[in-house]
Amino acid sequence: MPIATINGIPLNYQVKGSGDLVVLVMGTGSPGRVWDLHQVPALVKAGYRVATFDNRGIAPSGESLGGMTIDDLVADTAGLIELLGAPAHVVGTSMGARVAQELTLARPELVRKAVFLAGHARMDRFQMTLTEGERQLYDSGVELPPKYQAAVTAVMNLSPASLADENAARDWLDVFEFSGGKMSPGVRAQLGMDREFDRRAAYRQITRQCLAVGFADDRMIPAYLSREVAAAIPGARYEEIPDAGHYGYLERPEVVNKVLLDFLAS
């Protein structure tokens, strides 16, 4: 993957396909290559040029160990779009959805259409408490046993429908156990960003076509928060994916991809 210097930091990115540009923005703690499992192939097949990248905090992009803000992440995404040729369709999930929302508000000239998976204009008390707990866990130096960490990750990010399927549950738990481990300092920097915000009033100024997608069984960003984003943005659409948790784009990729592609083509 090439590395560009954007906003004074290295940004690791890749581009596949040809056609109108789609930029995919990943959530907290995950590299951009996660999109390669399902969304990139579907978008390339549909005739799009697709860019993925590692947000600051995820090596080999700059880890910004001194801290970062949402504005930093928005500026990074804007810089990449300018490098690759604006405007672009922008799709984000979780933290990446928030980046996409703020980018669409601040730099509308860079955005054709925007899709927010597990988007949110604010966090409720549970999310703020969970994030603070994650910061405290990292700072304490305590490491959870791999199997327990895998179980917690599964419960927080998957639908009960996946966990009730013996084969699916086994596969997911194996993935989480072997891909887990100690949080990196860069991810800790991502977790250090402000969580006490409410952007519902600000999002009334967004002028681009937007789609907010909620995952019905999402414990990390409950679907009602994604519905609030659509309600705040004039003319925005809302879709809710059943039997899907926070990783709905991985759990139910065919459904998510259809919703995404139908919106971009409309």
What is the set of active-site residues? 94, 218, 246
Q: Tokens representing 240?
A: 């809710």
DSSP state letter for 86? S
Query: φ and ψ at 27, to 5 degrees?
Result: -90, -175
Beta strands 209-215 and 111-117, pairing class: parallel
d(CA 203, CA 13): 28
Q: At what angle do helices 166-179 and 146-157 cross, to 10 degrees?
A: 120
Range 225-228 contact pairs with CB under 8 angstroms and sequence separation of 24 or more: 225/119, 225/120, 225/121, 225/122, 225/123, 225/124, 226/116, 226/118, 226/119, 226/120, 228/120, 228/121, 228/122, 228/200
